Amino acid sequence: MTAAKRSTETTRHQSFEDGERRFLYLLFKRIRGAKRQFFLHSDIQDLISEVSSEAGDDLPEGSQLLANLKGVMSAAHRDPWLVVEFRQSIGRWYHGRFHLDDLSFEEIPVNDFLAFRESLVCDNGSADEWPIEFNAQPFLHDVPIMREKRQIGRGVEYLNRTLSHRLFSSAEKRVQTLFDFLQIHHHRGRQLMLSDRIQTPAELQQAIEGAEEFLADQPDDKLWKDIRAELNSLGLEVGWGDTVARVRETVNLLSEIIDSPNPSDIEEFLGRIPMIFSVVIFSPHGYFGQSNVLGLPDTGGQVVYILDQVRALEKEMRERLESQGLDTEPDILVVTRQIPDAKETGCDVKEESINGTRNARIIRVPFTEESGEVVPQWISRFKVWPYLERFTIDSERAILAELGNKPDLIIGNYSDGNLVATLLAERLGVTQCNIAHALEKTKYLFSDLYWKENEEDYHFSAHFTADLLAMNAADFIITSTYQEIAGNASSVGQYESYSSFTMPGLFRVPKGIDVFDPKFNIVSPGADEEVYFPHTDQENRITGLKKEIDTLLFGDFPGAVSQFKDPDKPIIFLMSRLDKVKNVTGFVEWYAKNDRLRELANVFVIGGNTDFDQSSDSEEKEQIRILYDLIERHNLRGQLRWVPKQSDKVFNGELYRVLADRKGVFVQPALFEAFGLTVIEAMTSGLPTFATIFGGPLEIIEDGKSGFHIDPNHGEDVAEKLADFFARCQEDPDHWNQVSQGGIERVEAHYTWRLYASRLMSLSRIYGFWKFVSNLDRARSRAYEQLFYRSVFRPIVDKMS
Ligand code: UDP
Ligand code: LCN
């Protein structure tokens, strides 16, 4: 069962010593007693703890068996077998089965593990002998796969190192490759970098030597236009730089790479080549707009993220193009669906300029029925699948009309956007980047195994198939955190959950995605610095909003529920969509049951609708009902105030700061939060933040230093932690300042859009380059994915229509 004892080719048997056997006997007795088929990691760990305390010294803490059992991520039981999956460490899995009577163990192939699970949920009690399989394993030989868990999410660095050794092994090869690559660049009919005067790699080398000689004694600040004629005569076209200094550096870099390539020079050189002029960003579902959309079902952080991303990207692209010597405006389109019944959101408008940019715009393309009829109403993200193919074709037409050419990069957002990006990138032959924001698979227990039971509401059959296809097709994937890819020592990453799974009756996935694939890169978003900044930055504060904010907090505000009895107490602030997973109601219950906390602080909630009849979303309705019930049952009026969603972000930015002035805190109690933009908004405003350990916040916050971690499964402890914090701050007001400052510094150092945009632009170039010069275009797997799309995905979607 240990790594050393295992081999990938053969299955191993293992028998146990006496102490271990007694331990296993007790454990299996409990498993049988539980009369359940499936056990989660936490179930198994609870049983192990129970048995450990009973078994006494039989199995000491350092025991290898215990260590292995701690890695059991799930188990399935049917007598006499307990079939388990072990996560030996991040991203490393193996499977095995215990015989509950003779207490033996044997390792089994992943397929047997999946088949056993299938047999437990199939009507006839046995798995399909010939299921359809999605298996990415054979194609992983086409790419260099990383080995160390610390490399996960830093794919581009690995790729640069590995491929530069592999492909650039001789000077001859290097010049040929770079010659081939530099020749292909042009923009709107204009040739860039090399002209057709240079016909061979040898001529490229001569041109570089000639340019180096010429540039050596030119003044640094001389402009491209004044050296163009000389460089043109050598065969160099615009793109090398805007000034002599810049052109010289770029030419020198190229000669360095030819002489002795090193990964950082390659990255630096590629960053200077004009490759990205236009970007298309897909975000099909939900209300995508700039006013009155936030807080609506399915419309939250993704919209905030994309709008901020576009502003930062446009700036970065413009700066890069300028420094390359080109006076071209970058073009960014956000393509979303047009919703004719858009209420007050403006999402029925076909085109909208994006505020804070010169040229970027939202293009809205409607969903249509097969008959061609336009779908007028908003459709939940779980039900958009039948519309996406037609949406892709219609979007393609709109994009080509807008840009006059194909884009240089397509970015998908969320499962639906990533599928559309896959289809269009394939059709146009463009580099594809995926961003998930949140993958649904880990949010719902056994969502794969019990997909049929959830089909009517969630359509996981289509959703997870789309995810698999899009993540395999993407040239690169960016994530906000490490945990999004690969979790941490004790929890499985969102992408990692697609490594192997089964949807009985649909298909089996022995290998869905490998988290060691270098396509994964962590590029964290930020919070718009013009809107969210520290409360201590008095100069930029929007004092004119004071009266409105006072009314929101304490006055007669439309839709507000309850007024604070003691408005001087510090405020615990929560703001999110009113989804179940955000767990606002969970928090209210913990607060309600802790008298000490109720004494020390008030609670202020912004979220959803406070009028049940105004909500159109069933999940939100349920949360509204629960929240009212809690307020009445625990007599919370006077201590808790609740107002409907607020979508003016400038106002919200000032609100965070006002609450920080009042020495409040922010709480994000979600059952799972993929990243958590509100967490960084609150932190950067200086509000000490208490946020869930499940998801991004675990990584964003360093517990006790830049905020606090809270475990939503232990609400009593959360309430105590908050009460302790407020009590301590009463005694030592500096404690509040320290945590507040810690949060501000953390965001400044790691979560800014400037860093993000520069990284994303570098990645797009580097992946584009390696795709061009190596077999990273994954042609074989693309053919397989296309077949899977047509023969599996389409029929699933046809059934939905
Ligand atoms: N938001 C808002 N008004 C609300 C609720 C949320 O402006 O009533 C904003 C919030 O400031 C943040 C985004 O919506 O920028 C929510 O992003 P987050 O990542 O926290 O959660 P998501 O909604 O994407 O799951
Ligand atoms: C979706 C989520 O659920 C949040 O956790 C993220 O912060 C947001 O998208 C932006 O990526």
Q: Which atom of ligand 1 is nearest to the CA of 649?
A: 7
Residue nearest to atom 8 of ligand 2 (CA): 301
CA-to-CA dists, residue 763 to 416, 431, 476, 651, angstroms: 23, 11, 8, 35
Residues 6+ apart with CB under 8 A from 469: 419, 422, 785, 788, 789, 793
Å from CA of 147 to ligand 2 middle: 29
CA-CA-CA-CA dihedral for 592, 594, 595, 596, to nearest 10: -130
Whole-angstrom distance, CA of residue 390 vs CA of residue 398: 12
User: Does any ligand 2 atom lie closer than 6 A to the CB of residue 687?
Assistant: no
Residue nearest to atom 23 of ligand 1 (CA): 300
Residues 6+ apart with CB under 8 A from 43: 34, 36
Q: What is the chain's mean pLDDT, rounded? A: 94
User: Does any ligand 2 atom lie closer than 6 A to the CB of residue 483?
Assistant: no
Å from CA of 279 to ligand 2 middle: 21
Of 574, 624, 652, 666, the one to substitute when testing ligand 1's pocket (max ligand atoms within 8 A of C-beta) is 652
Å from CA of 448 to ligand 1 middle: 28
Is residue 12 over pLDDT 60? no
Is residue 9 over pLDDT 80? no
Q: Which single residue is written with the structure tokens 């007669």?
A: 556
Q: Which atom of ligand 2 is nearest to the CA of 677?
A: 7
246 falls in which pLDDT band (50, 70, 90)?
very high
Taking only the tens place, the pLDDT of each residue in 154-199 is: 999 999 998 888 778 888 989 999 999 999 999 999 999 999 999 9
Residue nearest to atom 8 of ligand 1 (CA): 645
Strand residues in 29-149 grouped as ranges (E): 38-40, 72-78, 81-89, 92-99, 105-108, 133-135
Q: Are 463 and 384 in contact (CB under 8 A)?
A: no
Counting DSSP H helices and E strands in the chain, the numbers are 28, 25
Average pLDDT estimate for 556-579 = 97
**Plot region of 669 (φ>0 → left; ψ -120 to 50 → alpha; else → beta):** alpha
Taking only the tens place, the pLDDT of each residue in 352-362 is: 999 999 999 99
Q: Are 211 and 231 in contact (CB under 8 A)?
A: yes
User: Does any ligand 2 atom lie closer than 6 A to the CB of residue 526?
Assistant: no
Taking only the tens place, the pLDDT of each residue in 448-468 is: 999 999 999 999 999 999 999
Q: Give pLDDT, residue 8.
A: 40
Q: Are 182 and 193 in contact (CB under 8 A)?
A: yes
- Whether omega before 80 lies within 30 degrees of 0, making that bond cis, reads yes
One-character DSSP codes across 648-704: -HHHHHHHHHHHHHTT-EEEE--S-BSS-HHHHHHHHHT--EEEESSBTHHHHPPBT
CA-CA-CA-CA dihedral for 429, 433, 436, 441, to nearest 10: 60
Q: Are 461 and 506 in contact (CB under 8 A)?
A: yes
Q: Which atom of ligand 1 is nearest to the CA of 437?
A: 24
Residues 6+ apart with CB under 8 A from 353: 360, 361
Taking only the tens place, the pLDDT of each residue in 233-243 is: 999 999 999 99
Average pLDDT estimate for 142-151 = 94
Closest-approaching ligand to the CA atom of 577: 1
Per mean pLDDT, which range of 13-17, 93-97, 273-277, 498-502 is the poorest?
Answer: 13-17
Closest-approaching ligand to the CA atom of 414: 2
One-character DSSP codes across 164-183: HHHH-SSHHHHHHHHHHHHH
Q: Are 480 and 765 in contact (CB under 8 A)?
A: no
Whole-angstrom distance, CA of residue 180 vs CA of residue 188: 20
Q: Are 422 and 463 in contact (CB under 8 A)?
A: no
Q: Are 352 and 346 in contact (CB under 8 A)?
A: yes
Q: Give pLDDT, residue 465.
A: 98
Residues 6+ apart with CB under 8 A from 559: 609, 610, 611, 643, 644
Tell me the one-letter amino acid at 561: V
Structure letter (DSSP) for residue 789: I
Q: Give pLDDT, residue 13.
A: 64
* Tokens representing residue 53 in the block: 């305390």
Å from CA of 435 to ligand 2 middle: 10
Residues 6+ apart with CB under 8 A from 688: 665, 666, 707, 708, 725, 736, 739, 740, 743
Whole-angstrom distance, CA of residue 557 vs CA of residue 644: 10
Is residue 780 over pLDDT 50? yes
625 falls in which pLDDT band (50, 70, 90)?
very high
Q: Which single residue is written with the structure tokens 């009042």?
A: 662
Whole-angstrom distance, CA of residue 507 vs CA of residue 157: 35
Angle among Cα 502, 508, 510 to the nearest 5 degrees reads 95
User: Does any ligand 2 atom lie closer than 6 A to the CB of residue 582?
Assistant: no
In the chain the domains, ranked by start, together with CATH numbers, are 3-108 (3.10.450.330), 169-260 (1.20.120.1230), 278-440+455-486+777-800 (3.40.50.2000), 538-751 (3.40.50.2000)
What count of other Cβ atoms lies within 10 Å of the Cβ of residue 495? 29
Of 288, 291, 293, 294, the one to substitute when testing ligand 1's pocket (max ligand atoms within 8 A of C-beta) is 294
Q: Which of 222, 231, 243 is nearest to 192 (CA)?
A: 231
Angle among Cα 647, 652, 655 to the nearest 5 degrees reads 150
Å from CA of 220 to ligand 1 middle: 47
Which residues line ligand 1 at a C-beta cut-off of 6 Å? 294-295, 300-302, 304, 575-577, 606-607, 645-647, 649, 652, 675-678, 681
Per mean pLDDT, which range of 314-328, 472-486, 611-625 is the poorest?
Answer: 611-625
Tell me the one-letter amino acid at 194: L
Residue 164's Cβ-side half-sphere holds a number of Cα atoms within 13 Å equal to: 19
Q: Which of 334, 276, 336 is nearest to 306 (CA)?
A: 334
Of 443, 677, 679, the one to substitute when testing ligand 2's pocket (max ligand atoms within 8 A of C-beta) is 677
Q: In what order do the strands lie in the sheet with 501-503?
A: 133-135, 507-511, 501-503
Q: In what order do the strands lie in the sheet with 331-338?
A: 351-353, 361-366, 331-338, 278-282, 409-413, 431-435, 476-479, 520-522
Q: Give pLDDT, residue 562.
A: 98
Q: Which atom of ligand 1 is nearest to the CA of 676?
A: 19
Q: Which of 740, 759, 751 is nearest to 661 (CA)?
A: 740
135 beta partners: 511
Q: Give pLDDT, residue 3.
A: 39
Backbone dihedral angles phi then psi of residue 196, each to the nearest 5 degrees: -80, 5
Q: Which helix H or strand E contains 606, and what residues bound it?
A: strand 602-606
Is residue 58 over pLDDT 70? no
Whole-angstrom distance, CA of residue 181 vs CA of residue 184: 6
The rounded radius of gyration (Å) of the Cα atoms in the chain is 29
Taking only the tens place, the pLDDT of each residue in 658-669 is: 999 999 999 999
User: Does any ligand 2 atom lie closer than 6 A to the CB of residue 672?
Assistant: no
User: Does any ligand 2 atom lie closer than 6 A to the CB of residue 299?
Assistant: no
Closest-approaching ligand to the CA atom of 700: 2
Q: Are 399 and 363 in contact (CB under 8 A)?
A: yes
Residues 6+ apart with CB under 8 A from 673: 581, 582, 679, 691, 692, 694, 695, 696, 697
Taking only the tens place, the pLDDT of each residue in 661-713 is: 999 999 999 999 999 999 999 999 999 999 999 999 999 999 999 999 999 99
Of 443, 576, 685, the one to substitute when testing ligand 1's pocket (max ligand atoms within 8 A of C-beta) is 576
Å from CA of 678 to ligand 1 middle: 6
108 beta partners: 95
Q: Which single residue is written with the structure tokens 């594809």?
A: 432
Q: Give pLDDT, residue 18.
A: 80
